[in-house]
Amino acid sequence: MPRNFPIKASMFSWMRQILRTFILLWWLGAASHACADEPPPLIKVMPLGDSLTAGYPLQPERSYRLKLLTDLLAAGKKIDYVGAGHDPSDPPNYLAHQGMVGATVDKITGDAAWNTYNPAIILLMAGTNDFRLTDVGSGLGALGLVSLASALDTLIKKINKDYQDRGEKVEIFVSSIPPIGYPREGTGTTATHTLLNYLKSEGLSFAIVGGQSGAVDQAKFTSAVIAFIARRKLSPNPGSIFKAADADGDAVLTAAEYEVALRLLGEFILNKYINDYNNNIRTLAMQHNNTHFVDAGAQLTLADFTDGTHPATQQGYDKLAPAWFASLQAFFASNTHYWINGNGFWEEGNNWSETPDGPGGTVQPTGGSVYLLQHDDIDRTVIRDSEAAPAQLLDLRIDATGTGTMTLRVQADLEAMLTVVGMAGKGQLDQTDGTMITPTLLLGAEAGSSGTYVLDGADTTLRSEVEDIGFNGSGNFTQENGSNDVLRRLTLGYSAGGFGSYTLNQGILSSNEEWVGMDGTGVFIQNGGTHRIEAKAPSTSGFEGTLSIGAHSGYTLARGALSANFIYNNGTFDYTGGTLQAQFVNNGVLRLRGIRQIKGDLFLPLNGQIQLPDAFASGPPTRLEVEAGAELEGELYVTLAPGVTLRPGDSTEIIRAGGGISPVPGVLRLPPLPGKLILRGELVEQNHALRITVGEVNCGDVAQVRLRLGQRGPRVNGDANNDGVVDVRDLAMIARKLPAGAACSF
């Protein structure tokens, strides 16, 4: 008889769970269900997708299938691959598959091969061709539509409906897709070559950016890229792209090198949308209890490809297998467990049921899916201590949709492929001991939800590949101590509605790539500890070792140590204490307090601002010391210390750079002084220091304002009254400060 298919966790019926338990026991060949004289039935598994599932263009075509089969057999799990595709060198079809070269998601949906082969498990990886075949000539919106993963949503729903109509059950493991790049020769697919043409048509051609000089320096390249992304939700790092393209290291790009830079920018843009797509896949998987997210695509990088899309070696394809294996192994290990009591200990079986709100008495979970759900007014705390059995979970979800709370207190080792704290409601995970390993951690998954993670204890460790703090909802991570090791990416405020905050008070946070505010809003407060963003593994964005701060987000460094290969600030960076080591690109606001140091280079583009308060303070004044070079094209905004009295000849340094300062700041915004006094800035010590000095207004100061009459903008030298235009009123303000009887000849 047909049954309604499960969508949300709370909609699981006890009949479905019993059926799932029966199927799992049957698959695993339990003795009580197998005939004594017959081997247990093999689990029918369909690898479903496109050329990446097939293994194109290698011969024989094996993709990840042979390694996955071998790993499962070694773990005691026997499967039977099914599908229309197989290699002639594989007569028994041990490596059968349903990977169709060039297939889009819609093509896979229309083919509906699962109805022919009726697999119990589907391994789905699809969407690469939807991106490859997208024409970007008219804008990036086409990529945005693909990234919504609506076609994949339709595919998953069709699979579920087809099985529902037959009264049968299927488990879907859906994977992220790998990045896409430019081939080593040519411009590649429709997406890559139309994207290149689009960038050139939007003011990024070599002829426009380079002008008559025949070369492009970093300042020109950065300004052009910033002008392009100003209208789009993109945050590339022009500095790192420029340096990667500058093959001869002469600090300028030739036409050929500039083409490489545009391709790198194009790869960043394309893979930003692929990253959005993969995160939407993760969201889809959370909406179906029979669908499980696998992050296999992230195991490949552009270095694995020669054609921009497919692994060039079997070793490359084999990188996909461990992610599939880990998810399948966790799935086979156990059934779904629901917490049904109030406060209690993980190891006590009476706290667990195989159905929501069902009878307790099952064993403690050591695998499968675990749901810590609350929908009433009771505050619940689940304690997992050293008495609990080792556990390797497929996924762990903590969610309170009632007025009470749901908290998991981890005091012993725990592994989960996916951990969601705050799915539709709110949840909290407090880790005070042991090691928590979770490839994917989400805090605040859906809009309106909130998730909190507290990491404490000197020997406590959290290891992950991806941490999204504030995915679509609100997430808060507080690190009091211990170690948080992120292999790939940490994001605060992932989507447009997401808000994420991270407070580091003590301990070590180490990541490969960080975004404080990607499309959402992020806030990072460092009150101590050690924070390292270091190149651990190649990333699809090319941002390994980079901290990126979004336009509406901020980072506060009050104490502790912060280091990165690059820091790219589009928002607000408050630097009031601690130490900072990075190549710092400030396209937002850098606010300083006291004598602060940057161990690296500083680049201040035209749109950037550095705020230096407390000039001429009796105590330590505000001064920025840059270990290497400082390129200053934006605005320096100086304010005086409260109550300070100045006299002609008083001077103070505001910036010092060991590698020199170049050029003179685009805008040096100095405060007006009383009477006939004025502040002037000048580069001294062979351009290694920028000093401001108190003097008396003279004809040269008036002449400088006259030269700028008519200039407009929010940051213009000579705009004495800060009204956005240099006009006669500014000229009059300066002229009135001239000494009595002064006669200026202009």
Identity (one letter) of the amino acid at 669? R
Domain with residue 296: its CATH number is 3.40.50.1110
The ranges of the chain with pLDDT < 50 are 1-38
- Environment class of 691 (CB within 10 Å of its CB; exposed 0-12, middle 13-18, buried 19+): middle
Same domain for 15 and 42: yes
Alpha-carbon distance of 50 to 30, in angstroms, equals 34
Same domain for 630 and 674: yes
Alpha-carbon distance of 379 to 552, in angstroms, equals 35
Does residue 340 fall inside a structural domain? Answer: no
The reported pLDDT for the residue numbered 41 is 66
User: What is the extent of the structural domain holding 252?
Assistant: 190-271
Same domain for 175 and 135: yes
Nearest to 462 by CA among 485, 492, 428: 485
Q: What 3-state DSSP class applies to 574? A: strand
What is the pTM for the complete model shown?
Answer: 0.80
Does residue 34 fall inside a structural domain? Answer: yes
Does residue 480 fall inside a structural domain? Answer: no
Q: Which of 656, 672, 696 is the last residue of a domain?
A: 696
Residue 268 neighbours by CB distance under 10 Å: 19
Residue 699 neighbours by CB distance under 10 Å: 15
Angle in degrees, CA 188, 190, 193, rounded to 5:
55
Q: Which of 296, 315, 331 is the last residue of a domain?
A: 331
Same domain for 167 and 103: yes
> DSSP secondary-structure letter at 350?
G
Rounded to the nearest 10 degrees, the angle between the axes of helix 255-286 and helix 150-165 is 30
> Within its chain, how far is the Cα of 3 from the centroid?
39
Locate the DSSP E strands across 412-520.
414-421, 426-431, 435-437, 440-443, 450-455, 461-469, 474-479, 483-492, 499-504, 508-511, 513-516
Q: What 3-state DSSP class applies to 117? A: helix
The reported pLDDT for the residue numbered 458 is 93
Does residue 578 fall inside a structural domain? Answer: no
Alpha-carbon distance of 451 to 471, in angstroms, equals 10
Alpha-carbon distance of 163 to 177, in angstroms, equals 25
The reported pLDDT for the residue numbered 541 is 63
Does residue 58 fall inside a structural domain? Answer: yes
- Cα separation values, 565 from 420, 534, 601, 662, Å: 30, 7, 11, 22
Residue 248 neighbours by CB distance under 10 Å: 9
The dihedral built from the CA positions of residue 321, 324, 326 and 329, taken in this order, carries a sign that is negative
**Structure-block tokens of residue 518:** 């990607």
Nearest to 451 by CA among 235, 286, 333, 281: 286
Q: Which of 271, 287, 320 is the last residue of a domain?
A: 271
The reported pLDDT for the residue numbered 540 is 63
Domain with residue 210: its CATH number is 1.10.238
Same domain for 692 and 631: yes
Same domain for 60 and 197: no
The reported pLDDT for the residue numbered 663 is 67
> Residue 615 forms beta bridges with which residues?
640
- Cα separation values, 695 from 334, 425, 427, 511, 735, Å: 79, 62, 61, 49, 15
Does residue 3 fall inside a structural domain? Answer: no
Same domain for 175 and 58: yes
Q: Residue 667: in which H helix or E strand, if any?
A: strand 667-669
Same domain for 202 and 61: no
Contact of 372 with 428, CB cutoff 8 Å: no
Does residue 463 fall inside a structural domain? Answer: no
Same domain for 171 and 55: yes
Task: Count the domains in the chain.
Answer: 4
Does residue 280 fall inside a structural domain? Answer: yes
Same domain for 280 and 250: no
The reported pLDDT for the residue numbered 19 is 34
Alpha-carbon distance of 491 to 499, in angstroms, equals 10
The reported pLDDT for the residue numbered 16 is 37
Contact of 48 with 65, CB cutoff 8 Å: no
- Cα separation values, 91 from 60, 78, 81, 82, Å: 12, 19, 13, 13
Same domain for 128 and 253: no
The reported pLDDT for the residue numbered 231 is 65
- Cα separation values, 569 from 376, 514, 548, Å: 43, 12, 6
The reported pLDDT for the residue numbered 493 is 96
Same domain for 216 and 290: no
Alpha-carbon distance of 162 to 402, in angstroms, equals 34
The reported pLDDT for the residue numbered 148 is 94
